[in-house]
Amino acid sequence: MAVMLATGLWGLDRGGMWGDESVTFQVAQRTVPQIWRLLHDVDAVHGLYYLFMHAVLALHPDEVVLRLPSVCAATATAGLVAALGVRLAGPRVGLAAGALYAITPMAGHYAQEGRSYALVAGGVAGATLLLLRAVEGAGARAWWGYGTVVALTCALHELAVPVLGAHALTLALLRVPRRLWSGWGRAAGAAALLLLPLVWVSQGQAGQVSWLVPPGWDRVDRLARNFAPGPAGPVFWGASLLMVLGLRERRTAAVAVPLLLVPPGILMAVSQVRPLYHDRYVLYALAGASLLAAAGAGRVGRALERVLTRVPVGGWPVSGVGLRGRFGAPRVRALVGVTGVLALVGTFLTQLPVHRQDRSAAHRPDNLAVVSELAVRRMRPGDPVLFVPSVGRLAALAYPKGFRRVRDIALRESAPRSGTLWGREATPGELRRRLASVDRVWVVAEAHVLNPRRPPADPVERTKLTVLGKEFTVREEHTRDGVVLRLHVRRQPGGTPPGGQAGTPPDVPAGDPRGAATTARPVPRSGAPRAPRRRRGRW
C-alpha cells in the first residue's frame, strides 16, 4: 500500500486535465438536481461516481483533489490484493501480489485518472475477499457484505457485472457445497435486481460508446502486456512464466484465473456483436494477474530454499550440511525474501521510464489546459470563438479563465442549464446568420476533424466547416498536442481580408504581435510526428 500510495502521488499534478477528466470536473461541480437531469440523457453509467465526486470537489475544486479518490482507491486495492494473497497462499505471496499490483504501469496510470476505474478495481478486490471469507465459513453476514459491495461496485460502472461470472467459476473450481452456492446466488441476484434500472437507462445511452470497435487479437496482446509489470522484454516474459507456474497452486489459481480471464473474455465476446470493450473497463482483472504471478514467485522461492539446503558449506561437499544447517531455516527464508524484494525493485527500475512518461500531461489523449493557455495569449476581448466539434467546449468549461473575455458564437444554452455535457448549439440556419455578422472568428478544433475528406455526420458541424471554408480564410494557426487554434478572417471580393493589407488582422495596431501572420506548429517532444488523436468516448 505504501508503494502504491507513493506511485499514485508521484506527479499527480501534471498540469492539465484531458477530456474525460474535465467531464468529471465540470459535472461534479453542478448542483445535485442538475446532475440528476444530466443522467436522464447521458452518462447514467457514471451517475453514482459523479454524485460522490460532487461531495469531494465541494471541499476544494482542484485537479489534485479530483484525482485523490483514485489514488486512495488504488492504494486500498493494493492492500486488498495483498490480503487475498495472504489468505490464499501465505504472507510472502500476499506481499508479492500487492507489490506487483502497485508497480504495474497500468495500475499507476488509472490511479491518477479522475474517473471511476480505480474505485471499481478496489470494489472488485474487496468483493473477492468477502467471497473467500464466506467460502471459509464466515456465515450469512459475509454474504450480505459481499452483495452490498458488488452492488455498489457495479453501480459505479455497470461493466463490472462480469465479475459475477468470475466468482461463479471460482466457486465451481473450489467445489463448494450447495449451501454456499445458495448464499452466493441470493447475494448476486439481489445485486443484479438493484442494477436493473441503471442497465435499462444506460442502454438508451449506448451511442456514447459508438466509437468502440470489435476487439481483435491485437487487443488481447495489448491487454496481456498491460497486465504485466512491464509491457515488453525480460520483465514481460518473466512475469508470464511466473503466471504459468502459478497455475500449479490450485487454490490461488481458482481465484486468480477466473478474475483474470472471465471479465475480459465476456466483454470481448459480446463486443463482436455490440462493441463494449476497452482495457480500462477491465482494470479490476489486473488483480488476477498479480495474484497468479505472485503464486508462481512463491513456488520459485520454495524451490530455491530446497536447493539452498543442499548447497555445500565452505566449498567442500559436507554430507547433510547445507545453508539451512549452517545458518538456520529463518536465515535461508530471509535470503530468499531479500532476493524477491530485489527482483521487485529491479522490475520497477526497469519500468521507471514508462512510469515517468505516464506522469506527463502530453501522454494523455489531450491537454485542455494548453488550449486555455493558447486562448489567453492569442484572443482579444470580445472575439468570437467556434468549437469544432462542440465537444471542444470542454476546454472552456474546465479552464474558463482562457475564454472568459470571448464569446461563444455557436452556443445557444449552457451545459448546466441544458442538462448536457457541453451545451446546446444553434441550429444550422441560426449559426449561418451568426457567422455572417462577424469578420473574424477563432476556431478551436481537433486536428483530425479538419480533414476535408472526412466530413462530419452532424449537420451543425458540417455547417461550421462549410461556412469557414467558403466565407473565411485562415490568418493564423497554432497547433499544440493535437489541438488546432486558428484565426479565420472573412474573404473580400478582391481576395484581400478585411483590414486592408493582407496578412494584418483588422483593428490591430501596427507592430502588435497579433498582427503577424503566423503558422506555429511546434515539433513534438519526441522529435517524431504526432499521430492524430482520436476522441475517446465518455464511458
Distances (CA, A) of 477 to 449, 454, 484, 520: 15, 21, 7, 6
How many whole angstroms separate alpha carbon 325 and alpha carbon 320? Answer: 8
- The C-alpha angle 380, 384, 387, rounded to 5 degrees, equals 115
The three-state DSSP-derived secondary structure of 87-103 is HHHCHHHHHHHHHHHHH
Mean pLDDT (the chain) is 85
pLDDT at 112: 95
**CB contact at 8 A, 517 and 503:** yes
pLDDT at 310: 67
pLDDT at 89: 93
How many whole angstroms separate alpha carbon 85 and alpha carbon 79? Answer: 10
Over the stretch 372-418, which tens digit does the pLDDT of each residue have? 888 888 888 889 999 998 988 999 999 988 888 899 999 999 999 99
* pLDDT by 10-residue block (mean), the chain, 539 residues: 96 90 94 94 93 95 95 97 96 95 95 96 97 85 91 94 96 93 94 91 83 90 88 84 93 96 96 92 96 94 78 51 57 82 90 90 84 86 91 90 88 92 92 93 84 79 90 88 86 60 40 39 40 45
Backbone φ and ψ for 425, nearest 5 degrees, come out as -105, 165
- pTM for this structure? 0.85
Grid coordinates in use for 115?
A: 474517473
Over the stretch 462-495, which tens digit does the pLDDT of each residue have? 999 999 989 999 998 888 777 888 999 998 765 5
Grid coordinates in use for 535?
A: 476522441
Half-sphere exposure of residue 269, counting CA atoms within 13 Å on the CB side? Answer: 7
pLDDT at 533: 45
How many whole angstroms separate alpha carbon 75 and alpha carbon 319? Answer: 48
Q: Would you list the DSSP string of 183-240?
A: HHHHHHHHHHHHHHHHHHHHHTTGGGGTT-----HHHHHHHHHHHSSSSSHHHHHHHH
pLDDT at 516: 37
pLDDT at 521: 42
How many whole angstroms separate alpha carbon 17 and alpha carbon 28? Answer: 14
> Which residue, 114, 151, 106, 145, is CA-closest to 288?
106
pLDDT at 526: 39
